[in-house]
């Protein structure tokens, strides 16, 4: 079975396989929508937040309800 890799690029989030050196995609699919939907479902269902530190600065992703007046869809 192939080893799959997930990475982000300028146009989205991709999943696929890399070459033997691991520096170029052999195959890839855009999975941006699926990743974001799955992340939302995971955070919402588990009532958790995701935290990360980048260059010494801390960040968090949370699910936050919005008011109907804020809903502009």
Residues 6+ apart with CB under 8 A from 18: 3, 5, 24, 25, 26
Whether residue 36 contacts residue 30, with contact meaning beta carbons closer than 8 Å, is answered with no
Using alpha carbons, list the distances in angstroms from residue 36 to 1, 2, 18, 23, 63: 26, 24, 22, 25, 12
Q: Spell out the per-residue pLDDT of the chain, length 73, in tens.
A: 568 899 998 999 999 999 999 899 999 999 999 999 999 999 999 988 999 999 999 999 999 888 877 666 5
25 backbone φψ class: left, alpha, beta (φ>0; ψ -120 to 50): beta
How high is the pLDDT of residue 68?
A: 79
**Helix (H/G/I), strand (E/B), else coil: 46:** helix
């Amino acid at each position: 079975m192939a080893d799959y890799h997930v990475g982000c690029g300028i146009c989205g989030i991709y999943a696929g396989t890399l070459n033997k050196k691991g520096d170029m995609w052999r195959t890839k699919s855009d999975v941006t929508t699926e990743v974001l939907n799955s992340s939302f479902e995971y955070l919402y269902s588990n009532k958790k937040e995701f935290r990360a530190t980048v260059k010494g600065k801390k960040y968090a992703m949370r699910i936050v309800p919005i008011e109907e007046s804020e809903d502009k869809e």
